[in-house]
Structure 1
Amino acid sequence: METPANPAPTSRPGVAAVVYNPIKVDLEELREVVTTQAGAAGWAETLWFATSPEDPGQEAARSAIDNGADLIITAGGDGTVRAVAEAVRGTGTRMALLPSGTGNLLARNLKLTLNDITHSVEVAFSGVDREIDLGVIDIERPDGTTSTHVFVVMAGMGLDAKMIENTDDDLKAKAGWIAYVKAIVLSLRDPNKLHVRLQLDGGTEKRATVHTLILGNCGSLPGNILLLPDAKVDDGLFDLMLMRPSGLMGWISVWFKVAWINRILRGSAADASIGKLSSDRSLRYETGTRLAAHLSRPEKIELDGDGFGEATAFNAWMEPGALTVRVPAH
């Protein structure tokens, strides 16, 4: 849902805060653009909060909210966006995205401009509000403790999480998504699979053995790869992907479905037959609102492209319309 975005209650000018990753942005340029656009839109003086290795964005965003911010402009990568979303959950504070990372996954799925700071900031102050869904996940650790987090794009285990763990951060900073090629090769050499018990929407618990498990709020990745073809950010559902290719032909089948069926045929005259092809033993799709999973041993887990340690179980659900993001007014 998109609604016109009033700056703030009419009794005072709107207050915006910028939560930025100092490694990802040109702060001097960003300050100049934000000051110009905020003044033109009639907003008050902007607040500024930097992230740090100790705080990827949650505390910075909470400080912004405590200081009266109506809108938080998030300038950083996917990790910064996820952290700020975690902090604004349940507060009613709006977010705007200034894509500054490698993946920029939420911005891509919302079809926002990726490489134009002026346009992104203009949208922040003069765009409209769009309500999107937010994924929430309780992660149980090997020591029995539990932590709660959010994801705006995807949560994953298996090959997906191992790829994140094997990615060279220095190479990622220099070469972008090329850094994931090496990580994928290393991860494919790992013979271990996930042995998991799954309960979808409170139904019957089922056992599964898979290479990869992904829960997605949206499904588009860089390179025009549509990993979850039916995922929508505002349908109140997550899309579940279970990947279990067997041997070389199994991997070729998965590649064909992701790279050809999901990317090329969707929306074409052949679209009506895709549902029959997209789910089989090697690649299965389902949708739901809540998923409980119990692993046979601790496994790596990732949220929105960042590793989140090991999990022995998790409980994930969707909160429909829980996050308000600024998008262009059309």
Structure 2
Amino acid sequence: MIGRTSFPPHLGRIGRRRPRTHPDPVHTRRPGPLSAVIVNPAKVADLATLRRTITGTLAAAGWPAPLWLETTVDDPGAGQATAAVRDGAEIVLVCGGDGTVMACVTALAGTGVAMAVLPAGTGNLLAANLGLTGDLATALKVVLQGGRRHIDVGTAGDRSFAVMAGMGFDAHMLDATNATAKKHIGWLAYIGGALRHLRGRQMRLEITLDDRPPFHRRARSVIVGNVGRLQGGMRLLHDARPDDGLLDIAILSPSTLWHWAALGWGLLLRRRSVPRMEILTAARIDIRASRTQPRQLDGDLIAPGRRLLITVRPDALLLCVPQPASAPDLARGIGTAAAGAEGLREPVHS
């Protein structure tokens, strides 16, 4: 007699399946990455609306609620960015002025954590070079689309910068710019600060680039750039690329009002060769002045000094940028959607 065939208990009868107890991973939506928002409350008119907009936009895309960290007078962003990395954030959204962005660049460089710039305040140089305006919705869309690029950063002492550093006239101009005027008319306020220092004295400088012999110059300003665009769309450094492992140096040496006019006119016309301006490149720049000079990093004043030593950290910062199909040209800092991201490496998609 043929006996009854026994089936393992977990199979039961032929053709019968046990009900699923777990969702099919193929059809499960992967939650978005953990993010953190670092905001300078002094730069935001309506903090509650900003928070509601950011958290609502991220939630609609399936992202968890972000960490929310506000800067203080004593800590403009570095401590908050460090805390965000420690707590597991994969993307840090920075909403503040140049000082806030620079502090976060310093903390995030080399960590592999992506940084997104949410434009706020006036004169945010990194946002301008990314092609981002004051449109929060557009900046958040860039974050969600997943375009990522590694760029170089410059370092000066224990601080890092992503756009430009300088000694001399440019820092004088920033220091002389009225904060109230800047708030109301934006980058045009810098014109007033510039006019106040056009007749200043030239600096006597010794400059050493990499391991080359030092040379001497009399100049009004030395600007070291990772990218080339100034406020108002003016381009100072035409060949500056943020991912080439080099920094571009502009030595400005006007000594009369006529020199300033010729230099300014050349910049307005976007000429590659401008009177009274010398362009060089290096990975290490050592600038020594005969007397104490004002200095700035990414549009934020640092303590005056007689020396500005800058080195480059290649590919140190991961940035959220527009996808190539719709991105303004990051390398050129200004452009159209069709320009894509010419001259940069292919983006890393998350």
Q: Determine if the TM-score, normalized by the shorter chain, exceeds 0.5.
A: yes
Give a deviation string over 1:24-83, Cα, whole Å, max 9, x none: 223222222222222233322210000122111111111211221111000112221111
Q: 2:148 aligns with which of 110, 129, 132?
A: 129
| CA 261–70 in structure 1, closer or farther in 2 if over 3 Å, else same | closer
CA distance in 1 between partners of 2:230 and 2:255 (Å): 24
Amino acid of the residue matched to residue 296 of structure 1?
A: S
Q: Which residue of 1 aligns with 2:330?
A: none
> Does the residue aligned with 1:251 lie in a helix, a strand or coil?
helix
Indicate if the aligned counterparts of 2:32 and 2:61 stay in contact, CA closer than 8 A.
no
Higher relative contact order (CA 8 A, sep 6+): 1
Structure-to-structure mapping, 1:106-125, within 5 angstroms: 106-112=126-132, 114-125=133-144
Q: How far 1:295 moved relative to its partner?
A: 1.7
Amino acid of the residue matched to residue 16 of structure 1?
A: S
Q: 1:195 aligns with which of 175, 179, 204?
A: 204
Indicate if the aligned counterparts of 2:147 and 2:321 stay in contact, CA closer than 8 A.
yes
Structure-to-structure mapping, 1:206-221, within 5 angstroms: 206-221=215-230
CA distance in 2 between partners of 1:310 and 1:124 (Å): 36
If each structure's strand is expressed as a fraction of its own residues, which one has the higher value? Answer: 1
Q: 1:326 aligns with which of 300, 320, 334?
A: 320
Q: 1:42 aligns with which of 52, 62, 68?
A: 62
Q: Which residue of 2 aligns with 1:267?
A: none
Q: How far 1:230 moved relative to its partner?
A: 1.5
Q: Which residue of 2 aligns with 1:33?
A: 53
Give a deviation string over 1:119-164, Cα, whole Å, max 9, x none: 21122233311111111112xxxxxxxxx21111111111111111
Q: Which residue of 2 aligns with 1:269?
A: none
Range that drifts further, 310-319 or 194-203: 310-319
Q: 2:37 aligns with which of 2, 15, 18?
A: 18
CA distance in 1 between partners of 2:192 and 2:235 (Å): 21
Q: Which residue of 2 aligns with 1:143?
A: none
Q: Which residue of 1 aligns with 2:303?
A: 309
Range that drifts further, 299-308 or 313-322: 313-322
- The CA RMSD over aligned residues, in Å, is 1.8
Range that drifts further, 125-134 or 84-93: 125-134
Q: Which residue of 1 aligns with 2:119?
A: 99
Indicate if the aligned counterparts of 2:162 and 2:226 stay in contact, CA closer than 8 A.
yes
Q: How far 1:101 moved relative to its partner?
A: 2.1
Give a deviation string over 1:183-230, Cα, whole Å, max 9, x none: 11111132x221111111110011111011100111112322111121
What are the ranges of 5 or more consecutive residues in structure 1 without an aligned counterpart?
1-9, 139-147, 263-273
Indicate if the aligned counterparts of 2:116 and 2:143 stay in contact, CA closer than 8 A.
yes
Amino acid of the residue matched to residue 214 of structure 2?
A: E
Amino acid of the residue matched to residue 319 of structure 1?
A: R
Aligned residues: 295
> Does the residue aligned with 1:42 lie in a helix, a strand or coil?
coil
TM-score normalised by L of structure 1: 0.84
Moved over 6 A (4+): none
| CA 317–46 in structure 1, closer or farther in 2 if over 3 Å, else same | same
TM-score normalised by L of structure 2: 0.80
CA distance in 2 between partners of 1:261 and 1:67 (Å): 45
Q: Which residue of 2 aligns with 1:265?
A: none
Indicate if the aligned counterparts of 1:41 and 1:126 stay in contact, CA closer than 8 A.
no
Q: How far 1:11 moved relative to its partner?
A: 9.1
Alignment of 1:58 onto 2:78: yes
| CA 261–327 in structure 1, closer or farther in 2 if over 3 Å, else same | closer
CA distance in 2 between partners of 1:249 and 1:201 (Å): 33
> Does the residue aligned with 1:226 lie in a helix, a strand or coil?
coil
Alignment of 1:76 onto 2:100: no
Q: Which residue of 1 aligns with 2:11?
A: none
Q: 1:86 aligns with which of 106, 114, 129?
A: 106
Alignment of 1:225 onto 2:253: no
CA distance in 1 between partners of 2:104 and 2:307 (Å): 25
Q: Which residue of 1 aligns with 2:174?
A: 164
Indicate if the aligned counterparts of 2:35 and 2:67 stay in contact, CA closer than 8 A.
yes
Amino acid of the residue matched to residue 228 of structure 1?
A: L
Q: Which residue of 1 aligns with 2:191?
A: 181
Q: How far 1:13 moved relative to its partner?
A: 4.8
Q: Which residue of 2 aligns with 1:254?
A: 263
CA distance in 2 between partners of 1:242 and 1:221 (Å): 15
Indicate if the aligned counterparts of 1:37 and 1:125 stay in contact, CA closer than 8 A.
no
